[in-house]
Chain A
C-alpha cells in the first residue's frame, strides 16, 4: 500500500537534518544519501477516549491522519498497539515499520475511495489468481511439496465455506464457480469497513484469498501462512541457498505486514465482554 505510506504531517516540518555520511565530490556534487528522516519530536505517547473512539496523543498534540483528519480508532486494544508503535520509535521515526498506524490511516482516509462492495469485489477477484490454486508440473519435488502443503488448506476452505475451489496446473488457473464467489462475497459482507480494509491488505500481501481466510479464521498462524505463500521461494532457498539481505528481508517484511493486517482485522471486528462467574462453594 505505497499510497498509504505518506508520513502524517500534523506539525510544521523541521528542517531536514544533514545526513552524516554525505561527502561532497570534487565537482561539488553530492553523493546519494538516504532522505533525512523525521526525528522523534515527542516524549510521551498516551491514549484518550473521545466521542468517535480512542485517540492518540503525542505529548499534548493529537495525532492526525495524512489527510489531516483526527486519528480515532474504535478499539482500545488497537489504540494501545498503535501507541506502542509510536512509542517504540527511537531517535527517528521510521514510518515503514509502523504498519498498524498505516492501516488505521488507510481505513480513516480511504484514499482509494472505495465503498464496501468495491472492496469485497476486489478481495474476491483475487480468488481467480489465488496462489495456492496455481500448481506447477515440474520440478516434481516442488509439485509434490505444493500438493502436500497447499491441498489441506484448500480442503479446509472447501469444507468450512461449503464451496468448490480446486486447483489447476494450466496457465488460466482454476475455474471458480460463481456460487463460490457469491459465498465469499456474502461472507466478507459480514465484516465492517475497517476489518475489510485489513482483509484486503492481507490478501494483497499473501497473494491468496484462501490463505488469508484461513489466517483470519485462526486455522493457521501468521508464520505458517507466510511460509505457504512463499512456498516456491522457500523451496528454491532450500535448494540454492539463502541470501540474507534479500530473502530474510522480504520474509520479515511480509510477516510484519501480514501480522499487522491480521491483528487489525481481529481488533476491529471483535467485541469482548467480561462475564464474571460467581464462585460457588
Chain B
C-alpha cells in the first residue's frame, strides 16, 4: 500500500482545496458534500485493516493531488506563459529606443 499518512490530513487538505475552488458557497458544492459523506461512511468499522477505507483514502489523496497540481499549474501558466508576445514598441522600449514615426504610412 502507498505511504499516505493520516487520512485526516488528506481530508482537511482536500476540503481546503475545494473551498478555494468553490468561492463563497463552498458547502453547497456537490464534491464537498460527497467527500465528507464518503469519509464519514467509512469511518465506522470494526475491522482493523479496512480495504475500502484505504481505497477511499488513496482516491482522496489522488483527487487532492489533482486539484492542487491544477491550481499550481494554472498559477505558473498565468505567471510565465499567459502574456503573448511583446509589441514592436515594447521591444524597442526595452533598450530605450522609440520606433520612427512615418507620417502618411510606409511606402
Contact = CB atoms under 8 A, between A and B. Distances in A.
A97 B99 CA distance: 39
B87 A248 contact: no
A27 B30 contact: no
B6 interface: no
Given A23-B87, A221-B65, A47 B30 contact: yes
B41 A274 contact: yes
Nearest to B1: A218
B83 interface: yes
B69 A252 contact: yes
Contact of B58 (A31, A81, A88, A218): A218
The interface size bin for chain B is 35 or more
B35 to A, nearest CB: 9
A252 B4 contact: no
Interface residues of A, number: 51
Contact of B2 (A27, A33, A224, A248): A224
B73 A249 contact: yes
A266 B59 contact: yes
Nearest to B80: A245
Nearest to A251: B69
B15 to A, nearest CB: 13
Interface string A218-230: 1111111000000
Interface in B70-107: 70, 72-74, 76-77, 79-90, 99, 101-102, 105-106
Nearest to B21: A88
B29 interface: yes
B60 to A, nearest CB: 10
A59 interface: no
B34 interface: yes
Interface in A233-281: 244-245, 248-249, 252-253, 255-256, 259-260, 262-263, 266-267, 270, 272, 274, 277
B88 A26 contact: yes
Contacts of A252: 69-70, 72-73, 76
A53 to B, nearest CB: 16
A38 interface: no
Interface in A21-38: 21-27, 31-34
Interface of B: 1-4, 18, 21-22, 29-31, 34, 41, 46, 52, 54-55, 58-59, 61-63, 65-66, 69-70, 72-74, 76-77, 79-90, 99, 101-102, 105-106
30 contacts: A21-B84, A23-B90, A31-B85, A31-B86, A31-B88, A32-B84, A33-B84, A80-B34, A81-B31, A84-B21, A87-B21, A97-B70, A99-B66, A218-B1, A218-B2, A218-B58, A220-B2, A221-B4, A221-B61, A221-B65, A245-B79, A245-B80, A245-B81, A248-B72, A255-B66, A256-B69, A260-B66, A262-B62, A263-B63, A267-B59
Interface of A: 19, 21-27, 31-34, 46-47, 76-77, 80-81, 83-84, 87-88, 94, 97, 99-100, 218-224, 244-245, 248-249, 252-253, 255-256, 259-260, 262-263, 266-267, 270, 272, 274, 277
